[in-house]
Amino acid sequence: MGKSLVETCINPEYQGGVSKVFVKTLRDEDTANFEFPLFSKNDNRLDILLNASTRLNLVSKASRVVGVGQSITKIRQADRSRKRVTEDLRSLIDHANAPIFGIDVHWSVIVWNQAASGITGYTNKELLDKSLVQTYINPEYQGFVSKLFILTETLFSIIETFSL
């Protein structure tokens, strides 16, 4: 009590941003969903989502700020973890010794790794968002490959249905 919340609990890197939110709120401009790290007494980081609003005194003049913070620490940790896993998988796919490609529901290329580029000579940039079957499969085999994709899609749908 009686100490500056910003100077005591906010990392110096974020003190200016948090101070601006409080000053802005004292000017009667409520602030919603401002994110910042808050550090506990034992220096544990908490990610906070802050909503700040003005409280008026008896003569309708801004007299204080009420901030409602919600810890989003676990959500941010999960986001960071998910991002690391995604980057690791992307790197694993891209650097695999086997050609790997992925297509979306319209059979457009969304993944084309380095091994696939090395074997075919087509770069990732040349193929992305283009129909694999119509653009890069020999017309003689397009029907067969299309049927194969449809069969694969059907099998995945069946597996998904039974997994529920």
At which of 45, 76, 107 does a domain end? Answer: 76
- Mean pLDDT of all residues belonging to the chain: 87
Q: Which residues contact 124 (CB under 8 A, 6 or more apart)?
A: 112, 113, 117
Structural domain span for residue 50: 5-76
Residues 62, 108 share a domain: no
CA angle 69, 70, 72 (to 5 degrees): 135
pTM (predicted TM-score): 0.56
Answer whether residue 87 is part of any domain: no
Residues 71, 108 share a domain: no
At which of 41, 76, 111 does a domain end? Answer: 76
What are 65-88's pLDDT values in tens digits? 788 889 999 999 999 999 999 999
Go through the chain and tell me how many residues it has: 164
Place of tokens 């069969």: 151
The count of structural domains within the chain is 2
Tell me how far apart the terminal alpha carbons of the chain are, to the nearest angstrom: 54
Answer whether residue 89 is part of any domain: no
Identify whether the C-beta of residue 118 lies closer than 8 Å to the C-beta of residue 98.
Answer: no
Whole-number Å distance between alpha carbons of 53 and 35: 15
What are 116-157's pLDDT values in tens digits? 999 999 998 998 899 988 888 899 999 998 898 888 888 888
Residues 11, 52 share a domain: yes
Whether residue 164 is predicted with pLDDT greater than 70 in this model: the reply is no
CATH assignment at residue 17: 3.30.450.20
Residues 71, 9 share a domain: yes
